[in-house]
Amino acid sequence: MTEAGAGLAISPALRQALSDWLAGLRGLADASPHTIRAYCSDVAGFLDFLARHHGEAAGLAQLRLVTQTDLRSWMAQARAQGRAARSVARGLSSLKSFARWLAEREPGYDPSVILAARGPRFSRPLPRPLSESDARAVLECVSDDKESDWQRARDIAVVTLLYGCGLRISEALGLTGRHARMADSLHITGKGGKERLVPVIPVAASAVATYARLCPYELEADGPLFRGARGGALNPRLIARAMEGVRLRLGLPATATPHALRHSFATHLLGAGGDLRAIQELLGHASLSTTQIYTGVDTARMMDVYRAAHPRAHTTAAADAK
């Protein structure tokens, strides 16, 4: 959608407000283009629903009259159209964000009805981390099929940062030439402009140093650290392909993606006794509830070990099978 609300039954004033809100997210919250598109689609979709519901272009007057019934009808329609509960809940969250923003700028507008709405319940899927041995194998074998030594070293450096430091792929590929000689820690700016300090383990610093030594391109301080074959910034798709290749060679599941290495970082730290709050800071999660999902992974893994090893578990399973 190139223009906020373009083609939808929304009043010009409200369309402008939506556009201004999105512009603020781009400039102040440092939201990604994908996030901006999702917010725009969510809020514009609700306003279009509201217009069709009332039979006239949606404007501030219609927003003032929104009821819980309207909101439930909108969410029910979205579910009937095949949207997942998680997607509908995100749409309501986007709408609440817009309503708060509008209330700060529009005298007399009360967003309390929208803010009080409850989205559908949904269960978060558990992350699928690699085992510690599989993670080590990935770091050792990724891009073994590449002919170029410097490209192999590059891919090893990237995946080592994902697993060894818990970086997102966008964060690793956002590093610049000044990081070729890594210090003991990295200042990372993550989602929403949130900054964090990430310790750099020696193996990660060593992997980056090896890549920097072999790279045929000059790594300018303000230029990208990781380069593609022609010297431009490395495309994240190339790391995804490298992971596809190594998981086929090692017989790993399709869930062994670059992001699974970040999941593995968090899960293995937690399993080793890491503090949940500290892991939250290392990952750059805004909310502890986001990090707490890894406790579910650890519990699930513990139960798998229990079922495989405990004699009573086998006895119960055999009895249940009769």
Residue 226 to residue 209: CA distance in whole angstroms: 12
Do 112 and 225 fall within a single domain? no
Flag whether pLDDT at 5 surpasses 60.
no
Q: Tell me the catalytic residues.
A: 168, 191, 259, 262, 285, 294
Query: Taking a C-beta distance cutoff of 8 angstroms, is the pair 132, 272 a contact?
Result: no
Do 181 and 42 fall within a single domain? no
Which residues span the domain enclosing 41?
12-116
The alpha-carbon radius of gyration of the chain (Å, integer) is 24
Do 138 and 184 fall within a single domain? yes
Residue 1 falls inside a structural domain = no
Report the number of distinct structural domains present in the chain: 2
Do 137 and 280 fall within a single domain? yes
Do 17 and 147 fall within a single domain? no
Do 68 and 210 fall within a single domain? no
More confident of the two residues 223 and 269: 223
- In the prediction, which pLDDT does 189 show? 84
Do 81 and 161 fall within a single domain? no
Query: Taking a C-beta distance cutoff of 8 angstroms, is the pair 246, 108 a contact?
Result: no
pLDDT in tens, 276-311: 777 777 777 666 655 656 665 455 554 454 455 545
Do 301 and 187 fall within a single domain? yes
pTM, two decimal places: 0.60
Which residue, of 116, 147, 173, is where some domain finishes?
Answer: 116
Which residue, of 116, 144, 175, is where some domain finishes?
Answer: 116
Flag whether pLDDT at 48 surpasses 80.
yes
CATH code for the domain of 244: 1.10.443.10
Flag whether pLDDT at 11 surpasses 70.
yes
Is residue 297 within a helix (H) or strand (E), and if so which, with residue range?
helix 293-309
Closest by CA position to 172, among listed 125, 238, 128, 230 = 238
Closest by CA position to 144, among listed 234, 247, 232 = 247
Do 161 and 108 fall within a single domain? no
Cα 2 to chain center, whole Å?
23
The predicted model gives 256-282 an average pLDDT of: 81
The predicted model gives 131-155 an average pLDDT of: 91
pLDDT in tens, 18-42: 889 988 887 665 566 778 888 889 9
CA distances to 51, 74, 86, 112, 198 from 67, rounded to whole Å, are: 14, 11, 22, 10, 46
One-letter amino acid at 297 equals V
Do 161 and 111 fall within a single domain? no
Do 146 and 38 fall within a single domain? no
